[in-house]
Amino acid sequence: MITIITGASHTGKTLLAQKILERCAMPYLSIDHLKMGLIRSGHTDLTAQDDDALIDFLWPIVREIIKTAIENHQNLIVEGCYVPANWRKDFNALYISEIQFICLAFSDAYIDTNYAKITAHASDIESRLDDSDCTIDSLKKDNNEVIKKFTACGEEVTIIDDDYENTIMNLVKMTVNQNSENQIERLLKKPFWVVDFLPERVSAERAKQYFAVEDFCCNGQYINQLYQRFAYLIIKLSCYFDIYGNPSPKEIFDSINNCLSKGYANFLFPDDDTLITLNSGDLYMTVYNPDGRFLEMVKSLATAEGLFVRKTE
């Protein structure tokens, strides 16, 4: 997924990108860094003050970076003010479905009440060498222009009017959740293995007996014992691979044991691009897109729990 963060000056675009990076381990591209690299290297005669011209100069480069990342199924945060309000015209529907867009702006009332705080935190993430031109009037002008031009293009603008910290953290949570949901949806289309209570598929000739066994196991104590073994496998696996949300052993155990009533349990391993799912009543777990090391670890732990791992056809 690509997360584009833009908006008015001093609204905390870089701070938001940093917080998302820390939660999602997503790399981010600072358009400001790209700008200064091109200016300092002599690849353009534009200066840091040529805002409108810089949008025309930088956006075609940023646009193609975004497309390349999407085509390679890579996550990326793109942060900076040099994003045109009509940016969507440069992407087809398939690209758009992989992009989350966030635009930040302050209300006039927030600027009036919090001007000293805004300027005091201006260099929290990146140092501003000269911020003397940031006045209450200039902030209001910049923020109102951003709100006007992006809303005119049909974009939703997050207007910070009261609780700044809560607004930023809600955006972080939204991005983290959306990123995990997109990753899960993509992984569900990948090749998969099953962790099963049987070592191999049952032939069609034995289907009647298999269904009788399945019904017996699902309606007795066996399924509770089986789900406990699934839980212990995931708990042990968490010693080697990070699970999204960093659940505690008890949370993993409860999630699987509550699966019969909840309906499902998903365990996303974002750094390994792997997903393990368990649906209520199933006598197997499904492992999507494991690499060699991950799969070998699952096999070892499954053997210890008296379970079997096999690739589906």
Residue range 174-190: mean pLDDT, rounded: 84
Tell me the pLDDT band of 131, cut-offs 50, 70 and 90.
Answer: low
Residue range 12-24: mean pLDDT, rounded: 85
User: Which of 131-140, 160-169, 265-274 shows the lowest per-residue confidence on average (mean pLDDT)?
Assistant: 131-140
Tell me the pLDDT band of 67, cut-offs 50, 70 and 90.
Answer: very high
Residue range 156-184: mean pLDDT, rounded: 86
Residue range 274-294: mean pLDDT, rounded: 94
Coil/strand/helix, residue 5: strand
Task: Please identify, in words, the CATH class of the domain defined by 2-187.
Answer: alpha beta
User: Which of 64-78, 128-142, 195-209, 275-289 shows the lowest per-residue confidence on average (mean pLDDT)?
Assistant: 128-142
pLDDT tens digits for range 87-107: 999 999 999 988 999 999 999
pLDDT tens digits for range 245-279: 788 999 999 999 888 777 889 999 988 889 999 99
Residue type, 112: D
At residue 28, does pLDDT exceed 80?
yes
Instruction: Write down the pLDDT at residue 52.
Output: 86
- Maximum CA extent, the chain: 82
Instruction: Write down the pLDDT at residue 122.
Output: 57
Instruction: Write down the pLDDT at residue 36.
Output: 92
CB atoms within 10 A of CB 140: 17
Q: How large a percentage of the chain has pLDDT more than 90?
A: 58
* Intervals of CATH 3.40.50.300 along the chain: 2-187
| Residues 75/2, Cβ–Cβ less than 8 Å | yes
At residue 128, does pLDDT exceed 70?
no
Distance CA 142, CA 136 (A): 10
Instruction: Write down the pLDDT at residue 23.
Output: 76
| Residues 40/128, Cβ–Cβ less than 8 Å | no
At residue 189, does pLDDT exceed 80?
yes
Helices (H), the chain: 13-24, 31-40, 51-71, 93-96, 108-120, 136-152, 164-187, 207-218, 222-237, 249-257, 259-262, 292-304
At residue 62, does pLDDT exceed 90?
yes
Q: How many CA atoms lie within 13 A of 19 on its CB side?
A: 19
At residue 110, does pLDDT exceed 60?
yes
Residue range 187-216: mean pLDDT, rounded: 93
At residue 129, does pLDDT exceed 80?
no
Instruction: Write down the pLDDT at residue 126.
Output: 56
Residue range 150-159: mean pLDDT, rounded: 94
At residue 127, does pLDDT exceed 60?
no
At residue 156, does pLDDT exceed 90?
yes
At residue 125, does pLDDT exceed 70?
no
| Residues 56/64, Cβ–Cβ less than 8 Å | no
